[in-house]
Structure 1
């Protein structure tokens, strides 16, 4: 709408003339004088001020245009747009309502009105006026404006998370202009938001075909491949993003996360180190870097990195947790527990953090405290098998019967891990409920032959108990 004129060779004379008129207008304002200006020149002056965000001057120029050319409605429209940009939405709407009556054939009036209602968060009305603008543009043959109006409508649908409608509008644009790069990029984003990753990849790939050096497009493509669990392709896309822009920290960070997930800790370390070089004030990046050192058992470097992260952001839980884990490994149980408690304090709804704290308390024989943390972890996540397993072990310290009652009280017990079920078999056997133990073991063994090895962890004597060996031998026949 307000694009500057291209500085082609043929436009040199025009530019010189316009600049002369612009300077004359500026002098007029400065001297509080009044000169005559052609309406077209004044329109260009107003748009020049708007494009350059000199909105006060733009409003003065529009008011001056109203005064010298009272029948030219463009000055009123520009005033409405300036008011919209400066948050004077009521003033903008008053002008637009009047213009709508005078020029019902001008789609720009309806687009501006839609924009105002969008700012007012009245999204149904914003959509209504964008659709009206499309209707007017089609009826009065403003076809060159249709594409931009449809794009604005799609953005309005995106703002209310109606991604299906946004896709529908964007694909209307692409049906008429297959090379509209902004529409391609946005439709890919919308497909990502609704979870249609195959379509998302299709459109990001199309965008990259036209823009092979768009590091953000390669990065987004990597994110989608990661969501599809196609790790090889995700690494490939992130690598291209980094080749194009080696200073793009987000690609290094996500690449580091993939390497951590793949237990390729040296590669993860390199990625996080690059991130930290680009922004050494990001506590979260330093926390992940600390974890990479930790996984490589480079504990002193990990502790130093965690310390820096805590100093940068004391409210970030991750470096407190990492420090506690290392101190616990190093035998500093009391200090470790203090750090782990702070991590839990900062993320009280994190069941995993409570389990880590409970494990440290359990090893320190602070069983009551450990039990409290595990109870809370299971309130947060009743399906958390590791918490069930540790809590059952603690209850065994007091009473096998209590441990049995606890395990039998769990809803959807068979959805828990194999370890939990093997522990129950061991408890059945130790309490003399041999039939229950054997029936459950046979059922588990028929499904998973690896159950025998797990059972032997919790009931080592089962290796020499004929009843268990008979079940195993029957399956081997």
Structure 2
């Protein structure tokens, strides 16, 4: 559920606003104390009317010229309305009136941060730390500056300081996770959240971030346990359900994942991502009608959901409805034209429909976007081989080997093609390399060209390696 934020204006505040509006209508001058002016300004800020709020500040400053609070509010509104120079001037005046007001330096720090003037931002936040009663938010602001400077190590130091002062700060916990993630320091992240949970076992945000770190290290069982704790503490935590579903998918526990994904709908409106994820689970379970119905819900909700368009194509392909699947693969490619999986599927569909030229073009795309897909190289070379293009098939595998020098399958396939081309000596050289790379896979050779099982020179080389 999204929380709604609103000011609960007291009767006094409401009366102040009515009196102020009456004064404007009558083109008169009424006196308001400083608190009343603050209430009126906040009322207009809440109504998202910075122009009227600035107007009130002019009146307030006329009646209370030494109240720095109005200059700070003025600076804030000038900054929001892109009048940065004037905002700086207002803060300068405020500082002359009340140099120990932390808000002045916090706001100035934020403005400098937005202008990418980071060292000036840091100077101001440091000054704010001297004057502020509570500093956890300021420490977090300093961390944001370091993040903008791409200095995530320093950001972590300040986020931790902030959390030491305020264990409840969920923003800090999420920002910390973000920094650890960027630095790819999941182990440190896990250690931090475990220690944090020892101090505060009921922090659902800490359990959730701990789970995400486990997830990134492929420790899916541990991740699921930690998501469960987060859900136990906060039972309407939709993101935890969704990520738990993702972890279950990684363990091929598709039926359980579906149930968990569906639980998110109790706590937040269904969205295209979740529908698509459920569709993928049904697809993995080969329940294609249900998969298709969820993929359709996904694209209905978000027509730009390329994965869901693709999913519909996959379900049709499974039912050997290749021509229909093409339509949906093409929709996916329109939205995400560099996705090698989409091109692979379309290459395969064209091949099955006997449209070899289109299939070959699509294979070129797959390999352009993902040259380390060994399966795609093998399939592509097979298409060429079946067209009687033996030389092209062998050249394709040569390219494949350049991109994947450790893939034994490619060397074994090359042996088959070279024998078919009558280049026996080269074939035997490749066979040596294949056996040196992975001797256990030599059966691939005979699967592809069974007649080679009778070939004495091949058997001789294989036996030499298998002894």
Q: Which moved more, 1:25-34 or 1:418-427?
A: 25-34
The secondary structure found in structure 1 opposite 2:236 is coil
Look up the match of 1:123: 116
Q: How does 1:347-426 map to 2 (within 5 A)?
A: 347-397=336-386, 398-410=388-400, 412-415=402-405, 417-426=407-416
Equivalent position to 2:310, from 318, 321, 331: 321
Q: Which moved more, 1:80-89 or 1:146-155?
A: 80-89
Structure 2 distance, partners of 1:426, 1:434, is 10
Asked if 2 retains the 8 angstrom alpha-carbon contact of 1:114 and 1:128, the reply is yes
Look up the match of 1:13: none
Q: How does 1:30-429 map to 2 (within 5 A)?
A: 32=23, 42-48=33-39, 53-54=45-46, 63=58, 65-85=60-80, 88-118=83-113, 121-124=114-117, 127-135=119-127, 138=130, 142=131, 144=133, 146-171=135-160, 173=162, 177=165, 181=169, 183=172, 186-275=175-264, 281-397=270-386, 398-410=388-400, 412-415=402-405, 417-429=407-419
Asked if 2 retains the 8 angstrom alpha-carbon contact of 1:134 and 1:146, the reply is no
Shift in Å, 1:476: 4.4
Shift in Å, 1:45: 4.0
Equivalent position to 2:20, from 10, 18, 29: 29
The secondary structure found in structure 1 opposite 2:218 is coil
The secondary structure found in structure 1 opposite 2:133 is helix
Consecutive unaligned residues of structure 2, counting only runs of 5 or more, are 1-8
Instruction: Indicate how the Cα distance of structure 1 residues 255 and 137 shifts in structure 2: closer, same or farther if over 3 A, else same.
Output: closer
Look up the match of 2:427: 437
Shift in Å, 1:466: 3.1
Asked if 1 retains the 8 angstrom alpha-carbon contact of 2:173 and 2:209, the reply is no
Instruction: Indicate how the Cα distance of structure 1 residues 203 and 86 shifts in structure 2: closer, same or farther if over 3 A, else same.
Output: farther
Consecutive unaligned residues of structure 1, counting only runs of 5 or more, are 1-17
What RMSD, in angstroms, separates the aligned Cα atoms of the two structures? 3.4
Shift in Å, 1:152: 2.0
Shift in Å, 1:374: 0.5
Shift in Å, 1:68: 4.2
Instruction: Indicate how the Cα distance of structure 1 residues 202 and 413 shifts in structure 2: closer, same or farther if over 3 A, else same.
Output: closer
Residue deviations 1:377-414 (CA, integer Å, cap 9, x gap): 21222222222111111111222122112322446254
Asked if 1 retains the 8 angstrom alpha-carbon contact of 2:295 and 2:309, the reply is yes
Shift in Å, 1:229: 1.6
Structure 2 distance, partners of 1:267, 1:331, is 28
The secondary structure found in structure 2 opposite 1:294 is helix
Asked if 1 retains the 8 angstrom alpha-carbon contact of 2:78 and 2:86, the reply is yes
Residue deviations 1:407-436 (CA, integer Å, cap 9, x gap): 224462543633322211111222222232
Shift in Å, 1:354: 0.6
Q: Which moved more, 1:335-344 or 1:159-168?
A: 159-168
Asked if 2 retains the 8 angstrom alpha-carbon contact of 1:83 and 1:92, the reply is yes
Task: Report the TM-score, using the length of structure 2 for normalisation.
Answer: 0.83
The secondary structure found in structure 2 opposite 1:195 is coil
Asked if 1 retains the 8 angstrom alpha-carbon contact of 2:220 and 2:251, the reply is no
Asked if 2 retains the 8 angstrom alpha-carbon contact of 1:131 and 1:153, the reply is no
Task: Report the TM-score, using the length of structure 1 for normalisation.
Answer: 0.81
Instruction: Indicate how the Cα distance of structure 1 residues 339 and 111 shifts in structure 2: closer, same or farther if over 3 A, else same.
Output: closer
Equivalent position to 1:458, from 444, 448, 457: 448
Shift in Å, 1:170: 3.3
Instruction: Indicate how the Cα distance of structure 1 residues 444 and 60 shifts in structure 2: closer, same or farther if over 3 A, else same.
Output: same
Look up the match of 1:10: none
Instruction: Indicate how the Cα distance of structure 1 residues 173 and 26 shifts in structure 2: closer, same or farther if over 3 A, else same.
Output: closer
Residue deviations 1:181-202 (CA, integer Å, cap 9, x gap): 4655533432222221122223
Shift in Å, 1:247: 3.5
Shift in Å, 1:122: 0.8
Shift in Å, 1:27: 6.7
Equivalent position to 1:448, from 418, 438, 443: 438
Shift in Å, 1:355: 0.6
Q: Which moved more, 1:415-424 or 1:381-390?
A: 415-424
